[in-house]
Amino acid sequence: MSKKKTIEILEASAREATLLTESPISQWALTLKRFRGRRSGMIGLGIVMFLVLTAIFAPLISPYPPNEVLIGKEDVSPREKPCVHVLGCDAENPQHILGTDANVRDEFSRIVFGSRVSLTLGFFTVTIALLTGSFLGAVAGYIGGWLDNIIMRIMDVVLGFPSLLLAIAIVSVLGPGLRNALIAIAIVAIPSYARIMRAQVLSIKETDYVAASIALGATPRQILLRRVVPNALTPLVVLATLGVATAILEAAGLSFLGLGAQPPLAEWGSMLANERNNVFTSPHLVFFPGLAIMITVLGFNLMGDGLRDALDPSLNK
């Protein structure tokens, strides 16, 4: 090969290299781009953002404190029907856009504040389940052997029970209350994270870059934290987003059965449960809390689906 030809090739590859570095596009940017292209995912993100803002600015949005009893302060009775002035409700009546509940509290304010409870609950259960589950899964997958067997068999047993029944059993042991319901839901969710993390660790463990790290003298801890975990994050992020939806739904179920949030806390599930015997006379007190639960769960479900599609290019056909 002539010298000139070699220089030409070198120049061409240098140009190519600059071309590549000129517009670097990271994996995350690509994901974001793909996520933006998914309409349902964006709707989900919109719903979630809306809920987060509602939770943050709850005191500004709600016209009353969530636990303020309005007897003697206003001319309203318990379980008053919704009254919106713009929609033709008599201007002399105080405005309660979603009505009042049995204790004459403003239903709308309680629903707005309820978003704080549900989001916090969803966030904490998923965080607990994610950390515990992925720790157990990582240990099981990385160390293997009998430890792997013991951990995963326990996970199988937990998965073998209908999750709501197991959560009921755990709460009945710990005692009713929001915190214990949170723990129960987290425990029930651990196996899914453990399984995914273990599967990821098993496949990543065999890659060349892990072998290279071992050759360079990295400790198992370093390998797990620096090499394995970052590469295993993708499916866990998806599972966690969908997990928030499941957690909120299960917590509402436990509260409905009287095992979760206790009065007077404004929690959607228990608000609904307290009024379930009055559904025929005051349906709005059942309808709106349930609608709030549904919208929240729908938001996280849509966002999770969108994330999964965006993070897994093989699904994009």
Partner 1 sequence: MLSFIARRTLLAIPVLFGIMVVVFLLLRAIPGDPCTAMLGERATEAACDRFNAANGLDESVFVQLVIYIKNVLTFNLGESIRFSRPVTQLLIERLPLTTELALSALMIAVGGGVPLGILAARRHNTIVDTGTMAFANIGVSMPVFWLGLMLAYFFAVVLKGTPFALPPGGRLSAGVFPVPYYEVWGWNLTKGSFWARSNEYISNHYIFNTFITAQWSIFGDAVRHMILPAVALATIPLAIIARITRSSLLEAMSKDYIRTARAKGAKESRVVTRHALRNSLLSVVTIIGLQLGLLLGGAVLTETVFRLAGVGTALFDAITGRDYPVVQGFTVVIAAGYVVVNLFVDLSYGYLDPRIRQK
Binding site for partner 1 (CB under 8 A): 40, 157, 160-165, 168-169, 172-173, 245, 249, 252-253, 256-257, 259, 269, 272-273, 276, 279-280, 283, 286-287, 289-290, 293-295, 297-298, 301-302, 305, 317
Distance CA 315, CA 317 (A): 6
Given the complex with partner 1, which of 5 and 317 has the nearer CB atom?
Answer: 317
Nearer to partner 1, 69 or 164 (CB): 164
Residues 6+ apart with CB under 8 A from 115: 51, 54, 55, 58, 292, 296
Considering beta carbons, is residue 44 or 94 the nearer one to partner 1?
Answer: 44
Q: What minimum distance in Å lies between the beta carbon of 209 and partner 1?
A: 32
Rounded to the nearest whole angstrom, what is the least distance from the CB of residue 172 to partner 1 in the complex? 4
Is residue 55 a contact partner of residue 44, using CB atoms and an 8 Å limit?
A: no
Contact between 182 and 188 (Cβ < 8 Å):
no
Structure tokens at 34: 């793909």
The nearest distance, CB 189 to partner 1, in angstroms, is: 14
The residue (of 184 and 232) whose beta carbon lies closer to partner 1 is 184
Residues in CB range of 178: below 8 A, 6 or more apart: 117, 121, 251, 255, 260, 261, 262, 265, 267
Is the CB of 117 or the CB of 259 nearer to partner 1?
A: 259
Cβ atoms within 10 Å of 141's Cβ, excluding its own? 25
Taking the complex as a whole, the smallest distance from the CB of residue 61 to partner 1 amounts, in Å, to 23
How far does Cα 160 stand from its chain's mean position? Answer: 23
In angstroms, what is the minimal distance from the CB of 286 to partner 1? 5
Cβ at position 227, least distance to partner 1 in Å: 33
- Please tell me the number of Cα atoms within 13 Å of 55 on its side-chain side: 20
- Could you tell me which residues come within 8 angstroms of residue 67 by beta carbon, excluding any fewer than 6 positions away? 105, 264, 266
Planar angle of CA 121, 124, 125, nearest 5 degrees:
80
**Least distance in Å: CB of 50 to partner 1?**
15
Q: Which is nearer to partner 1, 94 or 114 (CB)?
A: 114
**Which CB, 47 or 104, lies closer to partner 1?**
47
If the CB atoms of residues 232 and 259 are measured against partner 1, the closer one turns out to be: 259
Closer of 220 and 263 to partner 1 (Cβ): 263
